[in-house]
Structure 1
């Protein structure tokens, strides 16, 4: 099997940049066992090394001598996920969030003044959005920025303890300036959330007047990142501190914006920051691949118990139970990799408003699924390595601790899936309408017809199974139809439930259907991911590699169906016998892919220095 062909397919559109980023990562040495303060100092030193190596220049504007390669910046961030995750996160804060906000929300004046210093690490900064009392509910943040006409300044203020900026990366130790998100007030009128540049430390490192800085203290992981809390007591900044691409205040206090409406303006501004969410999904994917490389490498050499026929000890990855733990997770990592690649390309290529809405929805859904997959898979890998996996030196304990927060930063996963479902419902309404009685009648009739067609197709495949055809469940068209049908049916059922809501009970109806909402979003993401995997298999130029990927794709599809087979059984998409056949097919695919497990993880191209776990030696 040609690992180089497989790796080339995985490297994708930004192959050269991805390999250059991995080469740069390979030049950094792992931190080893350090105290929290030592880890923070090491991370800051490595940040400067990355800056000197040109890492931050990838995604910033060409007019400042940089590459203006938005997609490439995400790919470079993903590469850091194979290394120290505190370094990856701090790089994301400095160049993705802080620098990205200046780039996306500021104007050319801000770019020229601040971006060179941000890229060089001369100006370490923070992204101060989250508040103690308002995490995901950004639109209702309590921090205020009130314009003082006479002074020509904004007064940034924390009105109560719940409005304290919390969990802010770079705040506790290194940051000198923060992009602060606050409710903008001028001439007594509030204009919604805007972002301002607020100095938080002077040149000596002391807090600026009116700025209170606290350290969040030890965390479960990522202790090389100096998370802190920021409180502002009537801190004054010049009018020019407002990042004014989408909203500006004239010297006399007059507010203007190219985007009409507070709500639309808010979502436009946040939409420009979608790169951070996409980057988190990619970073989680890299950490998961690293965990799988360790667990599969260990499982390929660790022996346990003897065969009664030969008396030889058995390699643990030869046990079906062990394959079941790791190989479906590996297949899902491949599927998510190709979905991430498509998402990064969509971000890079840009498009109209509709494209942007779809991008934001897909980014939210993929971030949720990828980070939950990371949390589950890394725990599984830890268990698959037994006591050795619990030792820090074998890296899995650190990966588990460092990635745990990924499920809640850059958007809580449950909230993100609700956003995905709301987008699906909006699209459904646009296509189907509000379902008046005639529309409902058509919808019910169409649904009945689609169910008959689906069950007829299902019966044909069951007949093939009865006749002994082993490839019935491996029919790619059938797999895709199952994913499509599940998504459509769940969404249609959800639309019917929510249609009953009135203005008086809308919240209660939606709240009562949240399990349905989340299932609809998850089914949608699963289908998108499968389609991305299918497209990747189709473009593979090597027949042998394509055949291998075809089986990996089968394993992803059938293990996903198996994981939700309660729904498929309850809704007549699987018979009990066919449900058993799905599990049997997953077992068989695990057996077929067992000899290729090392090849599949080797193709990730993880630098050897960052896989230096004694358990692999």
Structure 2
């Protein structure tokens, strides 16, 4: 027998053993006890439980039922009606942005389960516009906020420009102070400086938080934010304001995105949001933050809450998608190629539920584990927000950047897997996954492009390593007989992050030694692919650590299933970075085979007894049927009539 024949024989023997193992696991599954869904939902929901329940109940109103037959104009009108009715309930206030941030976020998060256009339109109004005014403004701006609370003044957020997306520092809209009239003059000097992709701008917004480069007495002071009236009380455009509609989009048809130009628009001196920067009547500029770069960081601080809401929206969409796909897959059967041996996956006619296949389990259960991981990591981020203070603020920026990028990139994969696992039913709008894929595709690039956000995660890690001289890669953890317990997984994830930090810090430091700051910046730019990988490594390690801590401290009845999910999440993140582990010798080829087999075993545990544990964990998200909405998840898929 030749070497190639021996390899084929060995492979066939390996597959036969693997199949026997899977059959054995199906007959005698070793599975954690299924948790009480209500107890799990209570564990996952840490704040404002009564408020969330009240909003979920309010969303039973037929106005919020799905309607996938509308034109763009119809979607916009429906979204405006939904927003008006929701705002009219006064579940929360724009003032809660600063006085009770968890309540503020909780109210807006509930809309994720209804319709993403509604969530985004409310988020732009309350978070980006209202929150920025609340954070950067003073008491003189409170009348504006009170009118935003009643929707008398619908708001938008005019930061992004046609020629300036992520480079907010480089925006070209100008604001010059005129001491003769005690006004600021807001101007769009060229077409690239026009505000672009502004939600609410095309039709509905009457007021905007506008970012512009401030010049006082001929001195440039950097980007500042001004409250600018766009439309009068009757909806007519104000003098000097020109608006265009961005038109149809891939998704989010309920949000009226637009473009705007300012032709020397005059606004009163009080239009400047002046908590940190003031211009007195005579034109003297004062600011409590001397450095322009630090000043700029303060001006865009409102984006952090927006990123948190987008991250949570991605996670909530994954909850819906995984629940729909898992429920459907547990009941949808097809003819089995195996003998009709006793199995929890076999139906009355010997057919087999598609959730019984390892290919389905790997996609759906890894998505389930990742969704739990991201949700629990977000709970840790929210605690940092509540903690407050300068140090916590720095951490919030890094963590929110990593989790926004990680959760939205995960969301793309998870929802697509859910769509495919449901076949044609997943393509049907009524089953919700497809519309979410369309509406949310933009989340990877708005509120900060994900690749840029991963750089925000990596930079402080590299700076700290450079200062500490930590530029030597640590040795990989000793993994010989790979049983892949949670502690082992945690060590491997941490090592990957540390190894990437050390390597990048060494390269950037060497460039700096040769050519100074300019050479260091060039070296960083040349390594952006590795920088993004470092951002991922940090996000994987952070979210796994958060998950492990939560699982360890959970109520006893929830600890075992959460620990199993946590292990699966960690194993899947090791698989995602397997090239790094192999190339550095942290894992041997045999260990990688063991890793793959271990993932399959955990998936089989989650899928045992017809997916009992996985289904209970999906139910643990606590999504009511009137918000889950998908017919294949809340009814019998065989009776669905469209």
Shared fold per TM-score greater than 0.5: yes
Shift in Å at residue 423 of structure 1? 1.6
Question: Which aligned pairs between 1:278-297 and structure 2 lie closer than 5 A?
Answer: 278-297=308-327
| Match of residue 128 from structure 1 | 158
| Match of residue 76 from structure 1 | 107
Q: Is structure 2 residue 120 aligned with structure 1 residue 109? A: no
CA RMSD after TM alignment: 1.6
| Match of residue 361 from structure 1 | 398
Distance in 1, matches of 2:543 and 2:448, equals: 20
Distance in 2, matches of 1:40 and 1:56, equals: 23
| Match of residue 73 from structure 2 | 37
Post-superposition CA distance 1:388-411 (Å, at most 9, x none):
111212211100001100000100
| Match of residue 639 from structure 2 | none
2:92 is paired with a residue whose SS is helix
Segment of structure 1 superposing worse, 308-317 or 17-26: 17-26
Q: Is structure 2 residue 616 aligned with structure 1 residue 599? A: yes
The answer to whether the 8 Å contact 2:175/2:215 transfers is yes
| Match of residue 595 from structure 2 | 582
Distance in 2, matches of 1:24 and 1:170, equals: 24
| Match of residue 422 from structure 1 | 459
Question: Which aligned pairs between 1:101-180 and structure 2 lie closer than 5 A?
Answer: 101-111=132-142, 113-180=143-210
Segment of structure 1 superposing worse, 402-411 or 505-514: 505-514
Residue of structure 2 aligned with 1:335, choices 353, 373, 383: 373
Residue of structure 1 aligned with 2:568, choices 555, 563, 566: 555
Distance in 2, matches of 1:61 and 1:42, equals: 26
1:243 is paired with a residue whose SS is coil
Distance in 2, matches of 1:540 and 1:14, equals: 19
Question: Which aligned pairs between 1:369-518 and structure 2 lie closer than 5 A?
Answer: 369-430=406-467, 432=468, 435=469, 444=472, 447=473, 450-451=474-475, 454-455=476-477, 457-459=478-480, 462=481, 472-474=483-485, 476-501=486-511, 502-503=515-516, 504-518=518-532
Shift in Å at residue 484 of structure 1? 1.0
1:121 is paired with a residue whose SS is coil
Residue of structure 2 aligned with 1:233, choices 259, 263, 267: 263
Shift in Å at residue 29 of structure 1? 2.4
Segment of structure 1 superposing worse, 20-29 or 481-490: 20-29
TM-score, L = length of structure 1: 0.92
Distance in 2, matches of 1:52 and 1:240, equals: 28
The answer to whether the 8 Å contact 1:98/1:179 transfers is yes
| Match of residue 29 from structure 2 | none
The answer to whether the 8 Å contact 2:95/2:134 transfers is no
Shift in Å at residue 23 of structure 1? 2.6
| Match of residue 469 from structure 1 | none
Residue of structure 2 aligned with 1:568, choices 563, 566, 581: 581
Distance in 2, matches of 1:237 and 1:108, equals: 18
| Match of residue 20 from structure 2 | none
Post-superposition CA distance 1:113-154 (Å, at most 9, x none):
111111111110110000011000011110001111101111
Cα pair distance change 1:59/1:425, threshold 3 Å = farther
The answer to whether the 8 Å contact 2:94/2:130 transfers is no
Mind listing any 5+ residue stretches in structure 2 that lack a counterpart? 1-34, 341-348, 636-642
Distance in 2, matches of 1:583 and 1:6, equals: 29
| Match of residue 253 from structure 1 | 283
Post-superposition CA distance 1:53-97 (Å, at most 9, x none):
2233276279xxxxx320222222222111111000001001111
TM-score, L = length of structure 2: 0.88
2:237 is paired with a residue whose SS is coil
Q: Is structure 2 residue 536 aligned with structure 1 residue 522? A: yes
Mind listing any 5+ residue stretches in structure 1 that lack a counterpart? 63-67, 466-471
Post-superposition CA distance 1:3-31 (Å, at most 9, x none):
11111111124433333332333445224
Post-superposition CA distance 1:560-610 (Å, at most 9, x none):
101111111111111110110010000000000112121111111112112
Distance in 2, matches of 1:542 and 1:163, equals: 57
| Match of residue 555 from structure 2 | 541
Shift in Å at residue 505 of structure 1? 3.1
| Match of residue 28 from structure 2 | none
Distance in 2, matches of 1:427 and 1:512, equals: 20
Distance in 1, matches of 2:629 and 2:181, equals: 58
Distance in 1, matches of 2:378 and 2:205, equals: 31
Distance in 1, matches of 2:53 and 2:548, equals: 24
Q: What is the aligned length?
A: 582
Distance in 1, matches of 2:398 and 2:86, equals: 31
The answer to whether the 8 Å contact 2:94/2:131 transfers is no
Segments of 4+ in structure 1 off by > 4 A? none
Residue of structure 2 aligned with 1:21, choices 51, 55, 61: 55
Distance in 2, matches of 1:584 and 1:486, equals: 21
The answer to whether the 8 Å contact 1:78/1:283 transfers is yes
| Match of residue 468 from structure 1 | none
Cα pair distance change 1:120/1:538, threshold 3 Å = same
| Match of residue 319 from structure 1 | 357
The answer to whether the 8 Å contact 2:87/2:149 transfers is yes
Distance in 2, matches of 1:607 and 1:247, equals: 47
| Match of residue 191 from structure 1 | 221
2:59 is paired with a residue whose SS is helix
The answer to whether the 8 Å contact 2:200/2:255 transfers is yes
| Match of residue 3 from structure 1 | 37
Distance in 1, matches of 2:492 and 2:336, equals: 41
Distance in 1, matches of 2:302 and 2:452, equals: 19
The answer to whether the 8 Å contact 2:232/2:238 transfers is yes
The answer to whether the 8 Å contact 1:30/1:84 transfers is no
Distance in 2, matches of 1:204 and 1:537, equals: 54
The answer to whether the 8 Å contact 1:79/1:286 transfers is no
Shift in Å at residue 171 of structure 1? 0.6
Distance in 2, matches of 1:546 and 1:59, equals: 38
Cα pair distance change 1:9/1:564, threshold 3 Å = same
| Match of residue 222 from structure 1 | 252
Residue of structure 1 aligned with 2:385, choices 347, 362, 368: 347
Segment of structure 1 superposing worse, 601-610 or 560-569: 601-610
The answer to whether the 8 Å contact 1:153/1:238 transfers is yes
Distance in 2, matches of 1:586 and 1:275, equals: 35
